[in-house]
Amino acid sequence: MLHNKARTSLIQRLSLSIWGLFLALLLLLAALGYAAMHLAFDRLVPVVAQHTVNLRADSSEHLFLQAEQSVARLQQDLLWRLDHADRAASPARFDTLFARSADGLWRLRPERVDVAHAPTLFLHQPASGLDASARLRAVASYDLLREQGPALVPPFFSAYMDFVEDGLMVYARDVDWGAVPTPAPAIPPTRPCSGPIRTATPSAGCSGHRCTWTGRPIPGWSR
């Protein structure tokens, strides 16, 4: 009887030892696995982060190039329109599209506002009044951005032309730039130029007497 009890006690101790060893091995494997994962994570995260940065840089570079091409094309188209415009009919067309508001700014007539398909305007009145050149540029830029603006937005936030008289013709989908109660002065070029036509995305430069700007604007005023 005593022999059986001793035998049972020995078996129990062996079982406990085996289970203890098994649990110790499990803990050791878990610790090794955690250490391996931590080491791999430390090595993998910088690689993934660098890859993400490279992808974003490539994407931004592509947008820069696309913006430059868009600016060049829009400038050429605008110059062609200005050279071939019917100057005799331009004043009447201007009066059909735009009207001077009570605050003195020229804006698109309310019945003409279509922020999904056409640009909007705000234009300050010079002391000497708007000359024929400003009216012609307003008409030409409106027609240009009405036709081509929707194809550029997106990927860009906006496509626009600014005026030396201090104003902007802007196509930004679902945004009426002329609705701002008292718009601040238009964004000045980084270097003195006149008559820039611009699309949305970050770099500035002048070509001859014309200034182009590509940058990612923020809501309100572009930067």
Q: pLDDT by residue (tens digit) across 116-165?
A: 999 999 999 888 889 999 999 999 999 999 999 888 887 778 888 889 88
The rounded distance, in Å, linking the Cα atoms of 97 and 152 is 23
What pLDDT shows up at residue 5?
A: 59
pTM: 0.60
Do 201 and 216 form a contact (C-beta atoms < 8 A)?
yes
Checking if the pLDDT of 108 tops 60, the result is: yes
The rounded distance, in Å, linking the Cα atoms of 100 and 109 is 9
Question: What average pLDDT does the segment 3-17 reach?
Answer: 68
Please identify which residue in the block is written with the tokens 């007497």.
209
Question: What residues have CB less than 8 Å from 222, skipping those under 6 apart?
Answer: 157, 158, 187, 200, 215
Q: What are phi and psi of 155, to 5 degrees?
A: -80, -15
Mapping DSSP to helix (H, G, I), strand (E, B) and coil, where does residue 182 land? coil
The rounded distance, in Å, linking the Cα atoms of 50 and 42 is 13
- Residue 152 CA, chain-centre distance (Å), reads 11
What tens digit of pLDDT does each residue of 36-93 get? 777 777 777 676 666 666 666 665 667 777 778 888 888 899 999 999 999 999 999 9
Please identify which residue in the block is written with the tokens 């929707």.
150
Question: What residues have CB less than 8 Å from 96, skipping those under 6 apart?
Answer: 109
The rounded distance, in Å, linking the Cα atoms of 128 and 147 is 31
Q: Which string of DSSP letters, residue by residue, matches 198-210? A: EESSEEEEEETTE
The encoded tokens of residue 61 equal: 């570079």
Q: How many CB atoms lie within 10 A of CB 85?
A: 16
What pLDDT shows up at residue 119?
A: 94
Domain ranges of the chain: 70-215
Q: Between these two residues, 10 and 121, which has the higher pLDDT value?
A: 121
The rounded distance, in Å, linking the Cα atoms of 164 and 197 is 11
Upper half-sphere CA count for residue 154 (Cβ side, 13 Å) = 2
